[in-house]
A and B are shown apart, each in its own frame.
Chain A
Amino acid sequence: MEHVATSVDGMELVYERPSTLTDTPMHYCPGCAHGVVHRVLMEVIQEMGIQDRTVGVAPVGCSVFAYNYMNIDMQEAAHGRASAVATGIKRILPDRFVFSYQGDGDLAAIGTGETIHTANRGENILVVFINNAIYGMTGGQMAPTTLLGMVTSTTPYGRESAVMGFPLKITDLVAQLPGAYYVTRQSVHTPTAARKLKKAIRNSLEYQKQNRGTCFIEVVSNCPSGWKMTPRESNEWMEKNMFPFYPPGDLKIPRG
């Protein structure tokens, strides 16, 4: 592990990069939730001292370069297949901490089957689900999670339920499955929210240590570029429009 300085030129260092994050500048758009979630996740891994025992799987999507930032073993899976690849890894290496990190297009569209079956089998992994209600990487098309009325490049007049169906609350579906042990919905738009997410990740990894089954964390996120908003506007829009439909909070917590 690299040496981390505690003071710089006599001043106290109050904020620093965890050793689990590389110092590569991130490619994410300004204000995007991805970067914050990366950091929070990596802080937990550093604090638990499991950097050398953690394996992550991110698929294509904006997090396609996650391996450049997360200083752990990272795999890039094919679109939709992250939790399936994570399953294979965890089955062979049950003593490692394994997580998948997936966008909503990946997890709730093309990877729906994998998502449901991973949780239904109770695979002992953590699934981090970045829900920004849009396909970010390919330029802002409608995803299954897109809100009604929301304008995207493939719903120029807003999503209409009659033609395009309803936004999918896949986290609620996952919570119904017996194999899902801990299911929660969080966000990172404020420091308080980020701290709550951190707690949820910590809990999930502790449960993983105890072989409890699938832990699933949805992070309701912004996509300033895809939504065509400034970072601040996007966070406000998210609170106003996303939260009523995807309310932050626990959906399933361990009994007792």
Chain B
Amino acid sequence: MIAEGAVQAGCRFFAGYPITPATGIFKGMVDMLPAQGGLALSAPDEISAIAYAIGASLRGIKSMTATSGPGWALMTESVQYALMTETPLVITLVQRLGPSTGGATQGAQGDVLFAEYCTSGGYTIPVLCPVNATECYTLTILAFTWAELYRTPVILLTDKEIAMTAERIDDDVLPNMTAQERLTSKSGSAVGTYDFDFPQEIPAFRPVGGLEKVTVTGSAHDKQGRLQKNTPETLEVLKHLEEKIRWRENDFCVVETDLQKGAESLVVSYGVTSRAAAEAVARARADGTKVSFLGIKSLFPVPRRAVARALKGIRTVFVAEENYTGLYRSVLLPLLGGTEVRGINKVGSMITPQEILAALSEPA
């Protein structure tokens, strides 16, 4: 469904390198893109795969690559390059058990911080996290929309269970989503590769090989895209890279909230685990326990407002995620002041609704 979503979003270039559990997306693009006039290229490794995709995007073609943890490790150099050069790009990261080659056929939610914090400087990269096949489709389209609108790499963070499970979906109920076209500068209008007056502004895109000269560099640069060291304009560009996202952080909020009046417990989860969490919440309520649920789909930028809203009246927050160390819990922690925060964590296999229920009923 990720491949279908990408094609629907107008993606016409894909580059990949085989890796379980992301190979299905690669294969899907190989099978679908030629008929759309697109191209799916096999790369000799992930370092090349993402670089091919960036090259195609520099020309204005919507591009994607897909990988899993070990391949992501190799891609991070170019993820930073895409961020620095403000090149729209979607990277699907299908999580598997780590560290290192870990377990190719075991799911995990262990790359949450590895994905988000892969840049020197810790710049915010939007991360979307689908919970089922339908969302694989819709959030892929949204990922392309964000990449195009904000000139940024966007990570679609899924996992082995979501990516490799066959699900039945009704084509007719898939929302009709239109593809976001790239906001290209009008000929002769812009003065540089990165033209903005305010740090929050998104510079109009100039394709390479077009009418105007385009200079692109992954080194610190001015608005013309020329390498500079610590000039005021260069420092402004560095600030702009973060501000263009931070300033719009509320535009990135995609959550599922199911709050119950009078509830003192809140279960927060994402990805495949939020399916178990929603189920556990439903069962707890059936047993007469009051409990609220927050499923987060836009992991970054962190949906602060939605979290704050869900916290009203809450004493205990449970964060359920399939990793050992409580990755997203550590991100949420500063926002959860005044509540008791408990992690529900596991590695090697999915967290079950029973395990979440058991955690909910544990005494403080």
* Chain A residues close to B by CB (< 8 Å): 60, 64, 76, 78-80, 105, 109-110, 112, 135, 138-139, 141-142, 144, 153-156, 163-164
Contacts and interface: CB of A to CB of B under 8 A. Distances in A.
B354 interface: no
A154 B44 contact: no
B309 to A, nearest CB: 44
B23 interface: yes
8 contacts: A110-B17, A139-B23, A141-B26, A144-B44, A154-B26, A154-B30, A156-B31, A163-B39
Contacts of A163: 39, 41
B260 interface: no
Given A110-B45, A153-B27, A156-B31, A138 B19 contact: yes
Interface of B: 16-20, 23, 26-27, 30-31, 39-42, 44-46, 70, 100-101
Given A109-B44, A153-B27, A156-B31, 17 more contacts: A60-B101, A78-B100, A80-B45, A109-B17, A110-B44, A110-B45, A138-B18, A139-B23, A141-B23, A141-B27, A142-B42, A154-B27, A154-B40, A154-B42, A155-B30, A155-B42, A156-B30
Contacts, number: 49
A65 to B, nearest CB: 12
B101 A79 contact: yes
A141 B27 CA distance: 9
A112 B44 CA distance: 9
Nearest to B23: A138
Given A78-B70, A153-B27, A154-B27, A141 B42 contact: yes
Contacts of A153: 27, 30
A249 to B, nearest CB: 26
B70 A79 contact: yes
B19 A164 contact: no
Among B20, B31, B44, B100, find the residue whose CB has the most chain A CB atoms closer than 10 A.
Answer: B44
A105 to B, nearest CB: 8
Contacts of A112: 44
Nearest to A146: B42
A140 B44 CA distance: 15
Contacts of A76: 101
B26 to A, nearest CB: 7
A155 B23 CA distance: 13
Most buried by A among B20, B26, B42, B45: B42
Contacts of B20: 138-139
